[in-house]
Structure 1
Amino acid sequence: MALVSPTNLLSLHHASGDQTTALNNCPSRRYRYANETNGEQPLKIPDPMLFLSPSTDHRPKVLPTISHCAIHLEMLEVFHTLRHEVIQSTNLDAAFDIGPRATTKSRRKWDSRTRKYIAEAVLIQDPNIGDKRKMKWTYFLHIAATRFHEWIRRVANHLKDAQLGAPLPRYLFLPPLDVLVIWHAFLLNCDDFKAYCEKNKLFGIQDIVFPWADIHAAIDPDTWKYTLPSEHSDWLLNTHGLDSNLVETLAHSGKKDTLIQNVLHAFYEPQKRSKQHSTSRLSQTLRKARQTQELNKPLVENVERQCVFVDKMHAHRWIRSPAVAGTLRRAVDRYGKFLHLFRLHPDQFLVPTLDVDLVWHTHQCSAGRYRTFVTERVGRFINHEDKIGRGTLDDGFTNAEQWYRLRYGEQYQVCLCWSCEAILEEVEELDDDEFGELDPQLGDLASRVERRVHYYREVEVARTLGREMPLWGHG
């Protein structure tokens, strides 16, 4: 089909890039806007129906659902937003005592009045301030890792008590955001997580089903903010001494509490150590985080490696795509085929495409169910290894691409941009049209795709820049 020829796709991608650049500079004015109507609202993006597909199927021998993958995309956007907030926070700069260390230097300057060179003082700005601010994210993760140890041990204790008849707290498995970041990245290093649970006698932890529905309920899809229900945050604080919002807690305490300031400053400048000791729970956690940095380093590195994947998901923005349901449905299908290649080629190292990797990560978040499913489907356990070098990854991707095409007769690496996915969705609808109710004309198809993608792109730009939202159907 000419519409999906390489030449036309390249032109489409160029046009899409130009369109996004133009929208960033100025709205298209193709639409009416929410402030110009009597209460009319723009489309909900993502569509709430995306999260209503069967997501309560907890059988261990099924693939992840579209809903689980969609919530995972939401969660990754939350992680991206959190990292940006931590790095850009001036309040956290002050709390950790990170600031520009400007220096004054003297330089020779010709003075035309005296006709002599004179010494002039020049203020040299700190060229490393950007890198220093990024280090806050690492410090933040060390504190989060300490809180993760506290949280998961208490969860294990509740599970142990439940075996003796004690009821499980309603929100037991929904942690604060910083703890969720650590837990999520740890789960993606399956063997490491299993060894950690066994070493620390955390019985029952690997059988936890990841709380997708509760995570979705805690996320604001407009701002990508994660907020625990008040009864849950109160329960965490009163029962376990865990603040639900670590960023706010550090920023607030770092302003008013000198002892907290001293401990936070020690992250940035280890030689700064206070001889005074606070008995507050936060201060104890911070001191422990400072003292166990080497022990927690692997957990922090897990998260920092995953930041690359988080950035890729943010760049693709599938969760905001007009064709996200189709993208995820095909990704789940391709993931099932990818796993089957492990059974067919047990001696081969295989690397997934980006969409397959998303589903793989989603599957691993429920550690016990993933282990059971893969062991039965493949005949052995497949560990997800994210510490592999670039060369080995390239070889593994080539292997997977070769065997996938030979086995299924399909392209392995495909373009997953909004436009290509929207085109594919339209083509699939035509293929499924038994009674010829849809218009097969390519010109009309292209027009529908362009109109839909343009609207979704304009909504996303408006949301990002804080503009008024365009209304669908008024273009």
Structure 2
Amino acid sequence: MDGEQEARWLAAQGTGVGVDLVPAALRQLEFLAAVDRRRWLYEGPLLERAIHRYKTCWLPLLAKHTQAAVVDGPLVVPLDCEWIWHCHRLNPVQYIKDCKRLYGRILDNSNVESSIRTNSKHQAEKFWTEQYPNEPFELEYTSPSDNSIYANTGAAKHISYDLVSAVTRQSSFFYQVDTPSMHDLRFLEEALARYKGFLYLIKTNQENKIKLFRVPTYDVDVMWHTHQLHPATYCHDMLKLLGRVLEHDDTDDDRSEGKKLDVGFSGTTEQFENAFGVRYRKAGAMYRVNLPSPLISIPQIFPSKVDDEFGIGKAESQLDVLQTKVIELFLQIVDIKNLPPAIPKENVYIWFTKNQSDMFISDGGRLDISTKTGKSIGASIQCEPTGKLILTVLVDRSSSSKKSEPIGRVLISLQEFAQPDSKLSFEKWFELKPHDGHARSPLVSLRVAASSTVPVRAHQVLSMIRTETSIKDQKMSCWTRFVYDCDTELIRLQIRDHKAKNGMTVARELIGVTKSSKKPFKLAEFEDNKWSLSNSNLCISNGMQPSKDSCILEIKGDNKMIKLYQGRKLEFQPKCCNNHAEDASAITAVRFCAEHPYGKAVAFLDTKSEFIMVNEDWFLLPWIVISFLSMDSNVEDGAKFIDGAMVQKGAISETNTTRAAPAQCGSCGTVNVSSKAVTASGGGNGEAESAAGCGSGCGGGCGGGAVSSKAVTASGGGNGETESAAGCGSGCGGGCGGGAVSSKVVTASGGGNGETESAAGCGSGCGGGCGGGTMVVETSKAGGCGSGCGGGCGGMVNEGSKAGGHAKSSGCGSGCGGGCGGMATECSKADGHAKSGGCGSGCGGGCGGAVTEGSRAGGH
């Protein structure tokens, strides 16, 4: 930030905002969570009734209260009316017009309190009942077929704004902002500063008579929404700043590359960074890609908010669970200075890795310099906030040489991001430590910008490995080990038969052993044709028929229920698009309770690759037991434990077992970087000065999977060309880069297939063919790349230099709708390690996952 930029930033921070937006934003997020637990307010007859109540009950009541208080203290608004009021206020120009036309003034929220923030509803409810004796204060859920007539509360005054459409548009906003970072005070304080910068740009453009479409990131948008929810203050602040009420029209939601939102976000990014000298794109503030498909439309209602625990007693204390934290890090190399005259800037790039092992980063990845490319590019990665990030500056000496020469390196501590009082972003110059040890004058320096989400607990990911059974012991059950990627064993299980006390009945039991346990302990037993977990109220029955919502197993408690579904559901669903075929090898456990009446995915099992993922520790041991029983071929002499899900397998030699990580598509969950990384352009969009939709995808950019040797950028519409790199697909109508490469790649243009030497095939852009995500068994590097509308599937690639095969990295899906990155495993010992999943991109596909780099990524 130079002197002029710093002066602009200070001027922006002087922008008048008459609301304390940080605590107000937290209240807004709390309210949106309460509404999301009542999704019947998003559509259908109860939404229509809520709108009717808002028009005929709440607005007239609010009008009376704003003239003369009708209750002592604040007036409490019913939640359904508050939701409609919320959506109405988010079009401030229309709301002000409606209020003034109907009531002659702005109906403000001062001296009004949300029903979720107070237990003192008595006075408000009493006054409501007096005014509307036939209309309940709280609108409760009823059957979707309920066609009851509205109470005669009076004629609804005309509101020209389409409230149904407004609710529809806002109903997905909570998913985008429901993250730990959005509840962090440090994050929100910075969001407020960025919001003021956003308003400053709009003011500057207006003064200079420049008509540009400004698009916020999600952190900025949370502050903007919060400001608008105080209509009188917002009107006053905007009139003072701009001489008019700043519009917030969210009707435009086309996130395609080259469209209004995409172009607007790119322009906002460029103007923001030029004006203030700080990065606009920010970890935790970008679009999270598609909303997961819902499992049910009717909520599960529970009598109490107390959540049952499905534990297994003292057995859980025997587990030595790894406590791993994870952050999302957005890393950008802004500039480099003091390069020796003999080194052209265009030949310089940066390679990043870590100085210690990381369950998310394997071999690191490549970054280009923004001032070299002329674009605001960066990498979004997941990593542990431990150790140091190593940035090595490399020079390509000649186009014919495949080797790069290091100049020096920079070490950046990641541990500061894990500190509770640390800032979540920085941008500064770092002097390089010379590679040859000889300091030059002046020292080469690298300007690095980094932002981080708050650290959160990483999912528990374990692989199931069966020990080899000798011929002599064929009658004895083999052990199944549950191990982390670092080969740390958590527990091993075995089913044993033993005679009951009468000496006649043969009983079966599941036992477990850990390193800390002195002897085996019983986890479950089979009686009366069902498995029951020891010391637990969790009971699992065989032979259950699929339910109406396609659930394959149901586990009930008083205040909680676990349902098992075939396929990847909710949080485990591929996030690039909704066009993937059902994954028959996957089983998802979904928890239903008062906090999550529509379900929250808590665990995942891949029966084909034999790994599990658990995102809540209380369910770790129960899910290990359930996964083992659903996979073990000895259960009931090979009968299926979960219909359609069990894999019939005998004992598998441990030295021939390959463990695979979850297939990653788009910005799905945990993705690691394998070898040299990856570039991808995206398309940010959101809400803007005059018309903006919520959210963005990678608007036709290239989605790199994981690159094994050397990578280059491929933007939407272009061809990805690499020297030994994983494939990259292009955007709508664009070309497609090569698939998986073992030696070199021939580019493929739109509609065709990528051709390589010893490489998996690749499909191309919008309308293009299906990517040939084939399986390659050799010392190649990456899986295939699928693309085109709807996306193809990158294949899984095996590479084996030792007993256990391993795949360096998975494929990449791209194009309209995004593709599916394949599964990937890597082996450094006898059995494989999961290393990195692929990345999907293109229209609607997000650039999350491995490493994304681009000029238009993310955005609101």
* TM-score normalized with structure 2 length: 0.31
The answer as to 2:173 corresponding to 1:217 is: no
The amino acid of 2:268's aligned partner reads A
Aligned position for 2:55: 149
Q: Which of 1 and 2 has greater Rg?
A: 2
* Counterparts of 2:328 and 2:243, CA distance in 1: 36
The amino acid of 1:341's aligned partner reads L
Measured at CA, do residues 204 and 168 of structure 1 come closer, stay the same or move farther in structure 2, by a change above 3 Å?
farther
- Give, in angstroms, the shift of residue 328 of structure 1: 0.7
Identity of aligned residues (%): 21
- Give, in angstroms, the shift of residue 345 of structure 1: 1.0
SS at match of 2:43: helix
8 Å Cα contact 2:96/2:106 also seen in 1: no
SS at match of 2:162: helix
Q: How does 1:12-31 map to 2 (within 5 A)?
A: none
The answer as to 2:191 corresponding to 1:284 is: no
Picking from 99, 103, 113, the partner of 1:197 is: 99
* Counterparts of 1:387 and 1:444, CA distance in 2: 42
SS at match of 2:244: coil
Measured at CA, do residues 399 and 234 of structure 1 come closer, stay the same or move farther in structure 2, by a change above 3 Å?
same
- Give, in angstroms, the shift of residue 368 of structure 1: 1.2
* Counterparts of 1:370 and 1:457, CA distance in 2: 41
> Relative contact order: is structure 1 or structure 2 higher (C-alpha 8 Å, sep ≥ 6)?
1
- Give, in angstroms, the shift of residue 326 of structure 1: 1.1
The amino acid of 1:358's aligned partner reads V
- Give, in angstroms, the shift of residue 447 of structure 1: 6.9
- Give, in angstroms, the shift of residue 262 of structure 1: 5.1
Aligned position for 2:186: 326
Aligned position for 1:235: 127
The amino acid of 2:129's aligned partner reads L
8 Å Cα contact 1:71/1:215 also seen in 2: no
User: Could you give the per-residue CA deviations for residues 5-43 of structure 1, whole angstroms, max 9, x where no partner exists?
Assistant: xxxxxxxxxxxxxxxxxxxxxxxxxxxxxxxxxxxxxxx
* Counterparts of 2:95 and 2:204, CA distance in 1: 27
User: Could you give the per-residue CA deviations for residues 223-263 of structure 1, whole angstroms, max 9, x where no partner exists?
Assistant: xxxx7734433332233344232124x45xx99xxxxx554
Measured at CA, do residues 202 and 81 of structure 1 come closer, stay the same or move farther in structure 2, by a change above 3 Å?
farther
8 Å Cα contact 1:174/1:211 also seen in 2: yes
Q: Which runs of 5+ in 1 are unaligned?
A: 1-59, 88-135, 219-226, 256-260, 265-281, 428-439, 471-475
8 Å Cα contact 1:146/1:288 also seen in 2: no
- Give, in angstroms, the shift of residue 378 of structure 1: 3.3
- Give, in angstroms, the shift of residue 415 of structure 1: 1.5
Measured at CA, do residues 333 and 200 of structure 1 come closer, stay the same or move farther in structure 2, by a change above 3 Å?
same
* Counterparts of 1:389 and 1:442, CA distance in 2: 39
- Give, in angstroms, the shift of residue 177 of structure 1: 0.8
The amino acid of 1:327's aligned partner reads F
Aligned position for 2:78: 176
8 Å Cα contact 2:34/2:116 also seen in 1: no
Measured at CA, do residues 302 and 405 of structure 1 come closer, stay the same or move farther in structure 2, by a change above 3 Å?
same
The answer as to 2:267 corresponding to 1:399 is: yes
Aligned position for 2:228: 364
SS at match of 1:247: coil
Aligned position for 1:67: 23
User: Could you give the per-residue CA deviations for residues 160-217 of structure 1, whole angstroms, max 9, x where no partner exists?
Assistant: 3x2xxxx441365431111011000000111111111122125351x433846x5562
Measured at CA, do residues 385 and 64 of structure 1 come closer, stay the same or move farther in structure 2, by a change above 3 Å?
farther
8 Å Cα contact 1:405/1:411 also seen in 2: yes
SS at match of 2:76: coil
SS at match of 2:37: helix
Aligned position for 1:453: 455
The amino acid of 2:223's aligned partner reads V
* Counterparts of 1:146 and 1:342, CA distance in 2: 36
SS at match of 1:77: helix
8 Å Cα contact 1:62/1:373 also seen in 2: yes
Q: How does 1:45-124 map to 2 (within 5 A)?
A: 61-83=17-39, 86=40
Measured at CA, do residues 368 and 337 of structure 1 come closer, stay the same or move farther in structure 2, by a change above 3 Å?
same
Aligned position for 2:666: none
* Counterparts of 2:239 and 2:159, CA distance in 1: 31
- The two structures, once aligned, show a CA RMSD in angstroms of 4.1
The amino acid of 1:414's aligned partner reads K
Aligned position for 1:442: 413
SS at match of 1:388: coil
Paired positions, count: 299
Aligned position for 1:335: 195
Measured at CA, do residues 306 and 181 of structure 1 come closer, stay the same or move farther in structure 2, by a change above 3 Å?
same
* Counterparts of 1:237 and 1:469, CA distance in 2: 44
- Give, in angstroms, the shift of residue 63 of structure 1: 5.0
Aligned position for 2:109: 208
Aligned position for 2:491: none
User: Could you give the per-residue CA deviations for residues 61-116 of structure 1, whole angstroms, max 9, x where no partner exists?
Assistant: 43543111111111111121111xx38xxxxxxxxxxxxxxxxxxxxxxxxxxxxx
The amino acid of 1:375's aligned partner reads L
Aligned position for 2:705: none
The amino acid of 1:362's aligned partner reads T
Aligned position for 2:242: 378
The amino acid of 2:59's aligned partner reads I
* Counterparts of 1:198 and 1:190, CA distance in 2: 12
Aligned position for 2:327: 419
Measured at CA, do residues 379 and 198 of structure 1 come closer, stay the same or move farther in structure 2, by a change above 3 Å?
closer
User: Could you give the per-residue CA deviations for residues 391-449 of structure 1, whole angstroms, max 9, x where no partner exists?
Assistant: 222222122111101001111111217824899xx99xxxxxxxxxxxx9936547768
Aligned position for 2:747: none
The amino acid of 2:109's aligned partner reads I
8 Å Cα contact 1:210/1:366 also seen in 2: no
Measured at CA, do residues 308 and 368 of structure 1 come closer, stay the same or move farther in structure 2, by a change above 3 Å?
same
Aligned position for 2:137: 244
* Counterparts of 1:416 and 1:245, CA distance in 2: 35
SS at match of 1:174: strand
Aligned position for 2:649: none
* Counterparts of 1:394 and 1:359, CA distance in 2: 21
User: Could you give the per-residue CA deviations for residues 357-405 of structure 1, whole angstroms, max 9, x where no partner exists?
Assistant: 1100000001111011122123433111112352222222122111101
Q: Which runs of 5+ in 2 are unaligned?
A: 1-15, 286-325, 331-381, 387-410, 421-451, 461-570, 572-589, 603-615, 620-860
Aligned position for 1:140: 46
The amino acid of 1:396's aligned partner reads G
* Counterparts of 2:278 and 2:137, CA distance in 1: 46
- Name the one with the larger helix percent: 1
8 Å Cα contact 1:76/1:310 also seen in 2: yes
Aligned position for 1:349: 213
Measured at CA, do residues 262 and 399 of structure 1 come closer, stay the same or move farther in structure 2, by a change above 3 Å?
closer
* Counterparts of 2:101 and 2:195, CA distance in 1: 32
The amino acid of 2:262's aligned partner reads D
8 Å Cα contact 1:66/1:332 also seen in 2: yes
* Counterparts of 2:414 and 2:278, CA distance in 1: 26
The amino acid of 1:442's aligned partner reads S
SS at match of 1:208: coil
- Name the one with the larger strand percent: 2
* TM-score normalized with structure 1 length: 0.53
SS at match of 1:419: strand
Measured at CA, do residues 147 and 70 of structure 1 come closer, stay the same or move farther in structure 2, by a change above 3 Å?
same
* Counterparts of 2:172 and 2:213, CA distance in 1: 21
Picking from 399, 402, 408, the partner of 2:276 is: 408
Measured at CA, do residues 444 and 183 of structure 1 come closer, stay the same or move farther in structure 2, by a change above 3 Å?
closer
Measured at CA, do residues 421 and 179 of structure 1 come closer, stay the same or move farther in structure 2, by a change above 3 Å?
farther
